[in-house]
Structure 1
Amino acid sequence: MTNWESLLAPVSADAPAEAREWLVYITGGNKTCFGRCGRVDEEWNVGIGGQKSIPMFAADLSSPSLGVLDCEKDRVLCSIWSANPPSIWHFQIPTAPEAGQPKPATSIHDLYVNSTTVTAEDIYKIHSEKRWEKVSEHNGYFHPMDGFLAQYGLNVPIGYLAFGLSQIPSWLMMLGVSFLSRSMMSRRINAQQRRPAAGATAPQAAGTQ
């Protein structure tokens, strides 16, 4: 999914149906999915009993294009998308606007995947039964194409920032928070100690006159 911006960009009016609709499986490893993606990976690729979801899509001429985003390998992009594995994102790609016209919105629905009970058929039914229509549309600041951050080119820098923060060890983060809190408390105590001293010198100054 390194070329995600071009793959998910608005398409021409004569583009094939599979270019207008995408299902992207968000997966990860032990660090990003905490061991919960194993079964979903199997059902996406090699389902129980030899059944596979991908061949089910391949046999359906109306199926969307399929993609995989591995948050273990591409953590920056997952940060840009604010994507959490395991989940499946459904994209409806709009038709490219004519010159001078505003870019149409890209509809996204992100579906939570039950990592303990999901089957290959469940994954296929996201398309065949349009189960994506039953979940709320993905909107807000973090929408990868149309959100506030994307419109102003801030989603990529913030994605890198979030990725960088996630690489900081928890003990170092706690040490920094502890140092900051102690510094703030020290300044507050010093300020409180200076106030009575200033108030005490005022009567002495008045009495000497």
Structure 2
Amino acid sequence: MKFSSGAILALPLLAAASHQESPLEQAKAQAQFWFDKISAYIPTPSKPHTPEEAAAKVGGKTVNVLALENWEETIRSSVKPTSTTPEEWWVMITGGNKTCFGHCGQAETAFNETAALWAFNPNAPNLGYIDCDDQPVLCNSWGAGPPSLWIMEVPSPGAPVDIRIKSLNATTTEVKTFTDLHASKDWKSKPVYEGYFHPFDGPLAKYGVAIPLGYVFWGFAVVPSWVFMIGISFLSRTFMSSRTTPPRRPADAAAPGARVRVGAPPGDAMS
């Protein structure tokens, strides 16, 4: 069997073509590339904590690290069914470089040192801690910003939870700030928070949309602006192309009253 020289020269081209990706495979690879690129910019919405971290002892009073998965159960479980007085909770809202621009360190340290002082104080409140860098969805669902202190009076289930919010100065907050606030009960003179983002009794919490909204706000915060620009550009091009495309013309209808000729034309008949 003989092979022409042209067929032999074409063998390398055929081998290269067999290894070339199909258009579908190229599209999949391109989509995966952009998905990985966008995913690299998106942090996790809730950083998991170990059981030891969730109830960290700061050399004294237990500080409960609250997360998206456990915050309500942790707070509610402190209330005994037979209790007639509400449980007092002080929740420290803090953050790192992303949500507090690195300015929450002093207030956070003062809060932890206060917990150490309250180790043997039976009248000390329950202590909670939320880091908005680790729990961005939870902070967004509460509408909470660092550094601040959320003071809650949590009664038995079914009764409203009174919440008062005290903003903390990032540069002047110290242990005395917390001890004086607790001793004087000055926080009770602040108005009770009744906003939409109330984590227990607000309209968003009652209708079950607080957490979904927290995800939405978190998504807008972490998605790069160029992703929105690409989406807007794609939508605008799609809209403009649909407007500039001329409408399809309907097929021409047959002329009205056209007479249909039957048989051969005059003069073509066979004699």
Say if 2:66 is the partner of 1:66.
no
**C-alpha distance after superposition, 1:40-93 (max 9, x if no partner):** 122122xxxxxx211222242211110100111111111111110000110100
Task: Decide which structure has greater helix share.
Answer: 1
> 1:130 pairs with 185, 209, 227, which one?
185
CA distance in 1, matches of 2:161, 2:178: 22
Say if 2:187 is the partner of 1:119.
no
What are structure 2's unaligned runs of at least 5 residues?
Answer: 1-65, 244-271
Partner of 2:97: 30
Q: CA RMSD, aligned part only?
A: 2.8
Equivalent positions of 1:1-209 (< 5 A) are 1-2=66-67, 3-9=70-76, 11-15=79-83, 20-45=87-112, 52-96=113-157, 103-173=158-228, 175=229, 179=233
CA distance in 2, matches of 1:178, 1:155: 27
CA distance in 2, matches of 1:107, 1:4: 16
Larger Rg: 2
SS of the residue 2:156 aligns to: coil
TM-superposed CA distance for 1:131, in Å, is 2.5
In percent, how many aligned pairs have the same letter? 36
In structure 2, give the amino acid aligned to 1:152.
Y
**C-alpha distance after superposition, 1:104-162 (max 9, x if no partner):** 11001111000111111102223222132232221121100100011111111111111
CA distance in 1, matches of 2:232, 2:187: 45
SS of the residue 1:117 aligns to: coil
TM-score normalised to structure 1 length: 0.72
Partner of 2:263: none
TM-superposed CA distance for 1:6, in Å, is 1.2
Give 4+ residue runs of structure 1 displaced > 3 Å after superposition. 12-17, 170-173, 176-180
Answer 1 or 2: higher relative contact order, Cα 8 Å, separation at least 6.
1
What are structure 1's unaligned runs of at least 5 residues?
Answer: 46-51, 97-102, 191-209
